[in-house]
Amino acid sequence: MSSGASLTATVRQCAILAGGLATRLGAISAQTPKPALQIGDRPFLAWQMQELCRFGVEEVLFLTGHLSDTLRRTVHAIAADLPRPLTIRFSEEPVRAGTGGALFHAAAQLDERFLLCNGDSLFDTNIAALLADAARDSADCLARMTVREVADPSRYGIVTLEQGRVVKFHERPPEEHVGPGLMNAGIYLLDRRIVAETTSVCSLERDVLPRLAAGGLVAATIGDGYFIDIGIPDDLQRADVELPAVLSRPALLLDRDGTLNIDYGWVGTSARWEFFPGAEDAVRAATQAGWHVFIVTNQSGIARGFYTEAAMHALHAEVADRLRAAGGTIDDIRYCPFHPTARLAAFRQQSDWRKPQPGMLQDLIRAWRLDPARCVMVGDQPTDVQAAEAAGVQGYLFPGGNLRRFVAPLLSAPR
């Protein structure tokens, strides 16, 4: 694989703070944990968990307290319906421990580096940008957080930055603050060493982060995008209308060999992988624009015995990590290992997943609840375009050259 950004941007675990009492919602949340409240056609957490799995998260650790049994049942039902599998774990605080105390009690289950987010807010931003920035942080940095500029930050924590480091952190804006500010958007990338800064009952926002920021140990990534906090009834109602529309994304579906990477013939190892010029930029641009990005690829090299499915999965994992390190993400991958004249009998068959048949695209459309009219498929073979058209998706034939320049007008067109 060609040289590129460090793969240390990869983070597999996210902890979700989901133990709050939701007192501002009153009777609405008396029997239902706030993160489990219905937004559109599914619980709020379902939207959040689907977003997390887009960026390489494979395990979610729920930090629970209030109505924890109800939350567990909701989470397991959500996980069964997600487009990508997630390992689910729970850490229940023994007392009302606060956001920092929740980490303290979960210490034994935390990865060396992990994401942390609030279970009652969602920031539609490019998490890969946060991960890519964090890969360049110095070893003493214990936290990197997302921040977002807002006209009125009175309801949120506000931060002051100098050269990418947080120098001041307020759980609420100081009285003298007037006008717009950088709000704490509630997504953090944390080093597990931060647990040593917590106690059994404490607030991450009030007790821990301000102290670390004063020591220069907290960095920030400025993001943009839709933000919603469902902590009050008006915003809960607003989320019910807005969030499903915002997260109903357009999708860029990419062929692999000859489009995303140079086709050297049945590429099955990282040693033979080379990104097409502009490929990493194309994926980053699509992610930043709020698009899903998928790979849809025929892999008859498996059927021919040139490499195994395990080797292909390892390659795809490395490719996805490389793209996240460059600030973009591959949300999901579909591949077809079958061929009608395969050397290996296990893969010798006709398949409606093999392009020009549309099976792979149709499965992505179903799993991710996509609108085919808002999807585009880019590939280097007529079979790519034929598969797209059969799935109701607009197909485009990539002639080679720079992939970023080719997809730029597709991303800017109305969807």
Please identify every residue annotated as catalytic: 255, 257
Buried b (16+ CB within 10 A) or exposed e, 235-262: bbeebeeebeebbebbbbbbbbbbbbbb
DSSP letter, residue 275: B
The pair of three-digit structure tokens given for residue 334, joined into one six-digit string: 């579909």
C-beta separation of 103 from 110 below 8 A: yes
| Cα(46)–Cα(401) distance, integer angstroms | 39
Instruction: Sort strands 59-64 and 158-162 into parallel, antiparallel or unpaired.
Output: unpaired
How many CB atoms neighbour CB 165 within 10 A?
17
C-beta separation of 131 from 115 below 8 A: no
Nearest Cα neighbor of 279 from 133, 407, 128 is 407
C-alpha dihedral (311, 317, 318, 323), degrees to nearest 10: 150
C-beta separation of 294 from 334 below 8 A: yes
| Cα(134)–Cα(325) distance, integer angstroms | 10
Sign, CA dihedral 204-207-209-215, equals negative
